[in-house]
Chains A and B, each alone.
Chain A
Amino acid sequence: NAGVTQTPKFRILKIGQSMTLQCTQDMNHNYMYWYRQDPGMGLKLIYYSVGAGITDKGEVPNGYNVSRSTTEDFPLRLELAAPSQTSVYFCASSFQGAYHSGNTIYFGEGSWLTVV
């Protein structure tokens, strides 16, 4: 079972460039999430989705966009990359709403993004 797979693992972007972090899960989970992890700070929720066609903002959505056209895929788009977006990004999923039901969240291995 692959679980949650995200690509690329590493990427260096120049300021102003755009890119998409890909995320796919094979567990048929309805809920998917994007987090960022910065040194000295806890994980912060960027966007989440409760099912195909439905997305919503998390705590730190500015500078990002998402889409959820299928249950499996939840790409994160960075428009006009800025140094403040240098971070480690984690895609995650859960069977039901982890925040309301306490369901386990399954994480991908992370994507290290540097904006220079």
Chain B
Amino acid sequence: AQSVTQLDSQVPVFEEAPVELRCNYSSSVSVYLFWYVQYPNQGLQLLLKYLSGSTLVKGINGFEAEFNKSQTSFHLRKPSVHISDTAEYFCAVIDIAGNNRKLIWGLGTSLAVNP
């Protein structure tokens, strides 16, 4: 069964530094991939998604992610973070090979941007 691993539960970083949040999934079948962000006391909001096409996906707020099929990864990056990027980030995957599709969520990575 498909699973999602977010390799870091917490990532502290200084403002204006680059950041990478890592996400690996277990099965290399055809997939849809997502990154969602959850700001404190708010619902989740889509950052970006990969459905097909270019493996480099650009999202909102300057984030981007690269789909690497051979490494079954979908790491999220931002070249320079702001205090306002402090939030919980969730990676999610859907196996699209069959009809019984499930959206599998990672456990989240807490990004703390410090001044």
Residues of A within 8 A of B (CB): 4, 40-43, 45, 59, 90, 92, 98-100, 102, 104-105, 107-110
Cβ contact within 8 Å between A105 and B104: no
- What are the 7 tightest A-B residue pairs by CB atom distance, in nearest-first order? A42-B105, A107-B43, A99-B101, A102-B51, A102-B32, A107-B44, A43-B105
Instruction: Write out the residue numbers on chain B whose beta carbons fall within 8 Å of the beta carbon of A92.
Output: 43-44
Interface flag for B103 (CB, 8 Å): yes
Q: How large is the interface on B (under 10, 10 to 19, 20 to 34, 35 or more residues)?
A: 20 to 34
Contacts A99-B94, A105-B44, A105-B103 given; 16 further ones with Cβ under 8 A? A40-B107, A42-B4, A42-B92, A42-B104, A42-B105, A42-B108, A43-B105, A45-B103, A59-B102, A90-B44, A100-B96, A102-B51, A107-B43, A107-B45, A108-B43, A109-B43
Cβ contact within 8 Å between A109 and B90: no
Give the shortest distance, in Å, between B106 (CB) and chain A (any CB).
Answer: 6
Q: Mask for B91-115, Cβ within 8 A of A = 1, else 0?
A: 0101010000111111110000000
Pairs A–B under 8 Å by Cβ, sample size 21? A40-B107, A41-B107, A42-B92, A42-B104, A42-B105, A42-B107, A42-B108, A45-B102, A90-B44, A98-B103, A99-B103, A100-B96, A102-B51, A102-B94, A104-B46, A105-B46, A107-B43, A107-B44, A109-B42, A109-B43, A110-B43
Instruction: Write out the residue numbers on chain A whose beta carbons fall within 8 Å of the beta carbon of B41.
Output: 109-110
